[in-house]
Amino acid sequence: METESEPYVRLATLRQLHHVMADMNAARSLADTLQTVADGVVNGLGYELACVNLVRPDGDLVVAAFSGNSAAEALITGRVGSRAAWDRRLTMGERWGELCFIPHTEGWVLDEDDVPQWFTDGPPPRFEDEWHPSDRLFAPMFATGAAGGELIGVISVDRPRNGRIPGAWGREALQMYAFQAAIAISNARLRANMQRALVRLEREQQALRASEESFRQAFEYAPSGMAIAEMGGDQHGRI
């Protein structure tokens, strides 16, 4: 049965989600957006650690942002996990909508794969829904915002502050957050591509202007008369 205080807890969580999503969409660069996504999980969803794994052009995933622990951040940021290892993880464990939960009783088989991780061992859970240090929870992010689109990254979370495996509300909040994070990351990539295109266009225009100026000066300051002649046209053989 829903406790009397639960609706107020949900309302507070929604308010916090609103703030972190607003920050996420206000970030300008891709790097800022990725870090804001990781920070939002820690600040708004009640996890002590969060990691954003971004799909690279070659398909592998790189740890692009980390939040919650500076030592763990220094240990794994920038490291790469193969797409094959990630595909294996995302097809294991329990499916919570689009989330993937791998309990410690199954996750031990992943300890030797090449995905960067910070998980540690710990004592057996004391109660049924207690979070174990080796439990793994992943929130895939898709280009279209929903499963079936192109995978653009995965949010990894660890250590819920209440010490419990997320219930239905916590799962829904994380899934909603991953959906919005995918949109923010896609928009940041689009802005970055547009900025690169504008810079490239400006450089091409500068080169064209420089070429035209050089061409003009060649005629203007020539020591003897110069003219442009064209062969061909309708009257072949005439200049």
Domains, the chain, with CATH or none? 6-192 (3.30.450.40)
- The pLDDT, as a whole number, for residue 5 is 46
Any idea what the Cα angle at residue 142 is, between residues 136 and 144, rounded to 5°? 155
* Rounded distance between C-alpha atoms, residue 120 and residue 132, angstroms: 9
User: Residue ranges of the alpha helices (H) in the chain?
Assistant: 6-26, 30-44, 70-76, 83-90, 104-107, 168-220
State the Cα–Cα distance between residues 12 and 146, nearest whole angstrom.
26
Average pLDDT, the chain: 82
Q: What confidence tens digit (pLDDT) does each residue in 67-122 have?
A: 999 988 998 999 999 999 999 999 999 999 999 999 988 888 887 889 988 866 77
pTM: 0.73
Q: What is the rounded distance in angstroms from the CA atom of residue 39 to the CA atom of residue 49?
A: 9
107 CB-side CA count, 13 A = 20
Structure tokens given for 115: 């995905």
**pLDDT < 50: residue spans in the chain:** 1-8
Q: Give the list of residues 6+ apart from residue 205 with CB closer than 8 angstroms, or none.
A: none
Residue type, 79: R
Helix or strand holding residue 156 (H, E): strand 151-160
